[in-house]
Amino acid sequence: MTRRLWIIPCALLAVAGCSKKADSGTDTAATPGTTTTAEALSVSGVDLGRTIDANSRVTDKTDDFKPSDTIYASVATTGTSPNATLSAKWTYQDGQVVDTTSRAIAPAGAAATEFHISKPSGFPKGNYKVEIMLNGASVQSKDFKVE
């Protein structure tokens, strides 16, 4: 009986010793200065529509347009940058470039940038594509139709 009572404190000491080792391992891994860096700017989504709100976000998502529509592409970004260039390159089904617009931005968090095109005489019917570029590199594209 006496032997059994001695076994319990010894076992507890052994467990405590193990967990202390594990703790010190975790402390070593948490190197200061490696956890808080500003998130790099990236494009998180592109929406197409006919209207936008005051926050440059599309209010009626669609990829089917009429020739007389103004076509909006709202580009959602996350992250920060002191100076970045977002571009929208609109192309027709035959590869013709319809328009290219660029905008310099300096976001400090989530932001939305809209690009839009319109054509007073009406867009030719067919398939189109808008390609979004961040600092010259293509990051996303969306296909849409004019019917």
Partner 1 sequence: MGLLDKLMGNNEPAKKADFSDVQSGSSSTAPAPAQTSSMGASAGGTYTVVSGDSLSKIAKHHYGDANKWHAIYEANRDKIKNPDLIHPGQVLTLPDIS
The site for partner 1 (CB under 8 A) is made up of 51-52, 54-56, 70, 77, 82-84, 86, 88, 90, 92, 94, 96-99, 101, 103-108, 111-121, 124, 126
| CA atoms of 61 and 93, how far apart (whole Å) | 21
Other C-beta atoms lying within 10 Å of the C-beta of residue 43: 17
Cβ nearer to partner 1, comparing 11 with 70: 70
Contacts of 18 (CB under 8 A, 6+ apart): none
Query: Residue 100 Cβ, how far from partner 1 at the closest point, in Å?
Result: 8
Contacts of 51 (CB under 8 A, 6+ apart): 58, 59, 60, 72
Angle at 47 between CA 138 and CA 102, to 5 degrees: 45
Query: Residue 23 Cβ, how far from partner 1 at the closest point, in Å?
Result: 43
Cβ nearer to partner 1, comparing 27 with 94: 94
Query: Residue 47 Cβ, how far from partner 1 at the closest point, in Å?
Result: 14
- Whether 89 contacts 115, CB under 8 Å: no
Cβ nearer to partner 1, comparing 9 with 95: 95
Query: Residue 124 Cβ, how far from partner 1 at the closest point, in Å?
Result: 4
Query: Residue 125 Cβ, how far from partner 1 at the closest point, in Å?
Result: 10
Cβ nearer to partner 1, comparing 18 with 40: 40
Pairs from 51-54 (Cβ < 8 Å, separation ≥ 24) = 52/114, 52/116
Cβ nearer to partner 1, comparing 20 with 125: 125
